[in-house]
A = this chain, B = another copy of it.
Amino acid sequence: MGWCLKFVLSKEIIIKCEEHILVPAMVNQLALQASSLGVEGEGIWLALGTIGMLLGMFYFIADGLDVTDPQMNEFYVITIMIPGIAAASYLSMFFGFGLTEVELATGRVVDVYWARYADWLFTTPLLLLDIGLLAGASNRDILTLVGLDAFMIVTGLGATLMKIPVARFAFWTISTIAMLVLLYYLVAVFGDAVSGSDPDTVSTFNALRNIILVTWLIYPVAWLVGTEGLNFIGLYGETLLFMVLDITAKVGFGFVLLRSRSVLGGGEAPTPSESAADWSHQTPLY
């Protein structure tokens, strides 16, 4: 913590150093440099989020350049789109665009980054599409999950924009219940679909499923303790938390998916194309 003392002239920064004592020194150093460049408060996390998503996207693009198999290519296209959309969303929030103020009935004014929800509305279905295709789930099951997911995001946005506290917590509850049903469905139905696959695919599926389970479950908690909910954590810490969650759930997810032997088609593992071919024998209702 010694190096924080160099900035004693800026009371605000020192307070932040003390608040976020657990953040690795490198990140904090970056935050201080950004601050000296005129980026204030949570803007640093939005900038880091943008950079992280862009790095993830370009890594996946570079990784996928020599992929020729159409079914493998599909995983790459989806997985590249996810951090691409998130990067645009983070950049817009960095520029202060996706930010609005909600004046609660209690008089408290909440700064809300609604652009997150626009991001999540498109990226979370793509994540579910990725893991659903890997599991060999039916189109019907994938679409059911996407429907639940969209309902979860839209009711979560409703919770965020409402003015009456009881309405906010009611919609938070609805959105969280939708998420729990979704996660149960993911574990039960997609888990069932993948169970006949080769060990590599099952192991990749389990890793991705666990990333989703752990990160997604933290989101409603972050909302609840953050500025939108009980206001235990300020906007600065909340933005950092969401940034770490978003990078893990999107770039980390993509990294695990695209590094797996089952996607890369090595060995005698059934490639996505084969499991995809299976589905076409099922009923393609949509």
Instruction: List residues of chain A with CB under 8 Å of any chain B CB.
Output: 70-71, 73-74, 77, 81, 84-85, 88, 91-92, 95-97, 118, 133, 138-140, 144, 147, 151, 154-155, 158, 161-164, 166-167, 170-171, 174, 273, 276-277, 279-280, 283-286
CB distance from A115 to the nearest CB of B (A): 9
Residues of B within 8 A of A133 (CB): 285
- Docked Cα-Cα span, A162 to B88, in Å, equals 13
Determine the residue in chain B with the shortest Cβ distance to A162: B97
Q: List 5 A-B contacts (CB under 8 A).
A: A88-B158, A96-B167, A273-B283, A279-B283, A279-B284
Q: Check A96 against B164 for contact (C-beta < 8 Å).
A: yes
**With A91-B170, A164-B95 in contact, is A74–B285 under 8 Å at CB?**
yes
Q: Which residue of B lies closest to A161 (CB)?
A: B97
A174 touches B88 (CB 8 A): yes
| With contact pairs A284-B280, A285-B133 given, residues A162 and B95 touching in the complex (Cβ less than 8 Å) | yes
Chain A interface mostly helix, strand, loop or mixed?
helix
Known: A88-B174, A97-B158, A171-B92. A70 touches B283 (CB 8 A): yes
Q: How many copies does the complex hold?
A: 3
CB of A270 to closest CB in B, whole Å? 13
The answer to whether B283 touches A286, judged by C-beta atoms less than 8 angstroms apart, is: no
Q: Is the CB of B151 within 8 A of A71?
A: no
A125 to chain B, nearest CB (A): 11
For residue A174, which residues in chain B have a CB less than 8 angstroms away from its CB?
Answer: 88, 91
For residue A92, which residues in chain B have a CB less than 8 angstroms away from its CB?
158, 162, 167, 171
Q: Which residues of B contact A283 (CB under 8 A)?
A: 70-71, 273, 276-277, 279-280
Which residues of chain B come closer than 8 Å to A277, judged between CB atoms? 283
A77–B162 touching, CB < 8 Å: no
Determine the distance from Cα of A171 to Cα of B161 in the docked complex, in whole angstroms. Answer: 25
